[in-house]
Amino acid sequence: MNASSTYGLSSQARNLQWLLTDLVEEVPGVNSVAVVSSDGLLLLSSDPVAPDTPAAASASARPRGPRGASADLATIVSGLGSLTTGAAALMDGGSVKQTMVAMEHGSVFVMSISDGSLLGVHATPDCDMSVVAYHMALFVGRAGHVLTPEVRSELRQSMENTP
């Protein structure tokens, strides 16, 4: 979902998209962001700019993921969420609040949203992990009460109608 696809959405859905866009644009090192419903469906994504498009020329110089990275991120977030929830249950660890995977060429962060949805962030290897986690927590705090069943349904439908 990009800025032009917010036309016709409720103010709550537009606010969530604005928060997601702000997270991507304002936090150094963030490549892409996805919000996934508790049943694994993509609700919101940052849809990174492909490097050879005119929009990329005006975009910031920080690296972006390949086109489709948000959809791939949604799949990874859903899988990590399921895996860590199962692990927490086996270890009597309670609910999972955050998961972080550090890789040679990047990091993936997953944070629970109060309704069972998940926020996932793919970031560069040199990102400040505490800054990324802090801004994710801000997003979760702001999005948790807005992500009602009606808004989730609206976002899901909007993602299905996006070319």
Express each pLDDT in 118-150 by its tens digit: 999 999 999 999 999 999 999 999 888 888 888
Predicted confidence band of residue 52 (pLDDT cuts 50, 70, 90) = very low
What is the pLDDT, as a whole number, of residue 63?
42
Question: Which alpha helices (H) appear in the chain, and where do they start and end?
Answer: 11-26, 54-58, 69-90, 129-143, 149-161
What is the pLDDT, as a whole number, of residue 23?
93
What is the pLDDT, as a whole number, of residue 163?
59
Higher pLDDT, residue 83 or 143: 83
Higher pLDDT, residue 1 or 73: 73
Residue closest to 33 by CA, chosen among 67, 73, 80:
73
Lowest mean pLDDT among 47-51, 67-71, 77-81, 115-119: 47-51
pTM for the complete prediction? 0.81
Chain mean pLDDT for the chain: 82
Residue 11 has pLDDT above 80, yes or no: yes
**Nearest-angstrom CA–CA distance, 76 and 130:** 21
Higher pLDDT, residue 8 or 18: 18
Contact 76, 108 (CB under 8 A): yes
Helix 149-161 / helix 11-26 crossing angle, nearest 10 deg: 70
Contact 64, 26 (CB under 8 A): no
Residue 39 has pLDDT above 90, yes or no: no
Percent of the chain whose predicted confidence (pLDDT) is above 90: 52
* Averaged pLDDT, 105-123: 92
* Averaged pLDDT, 21-45: 92
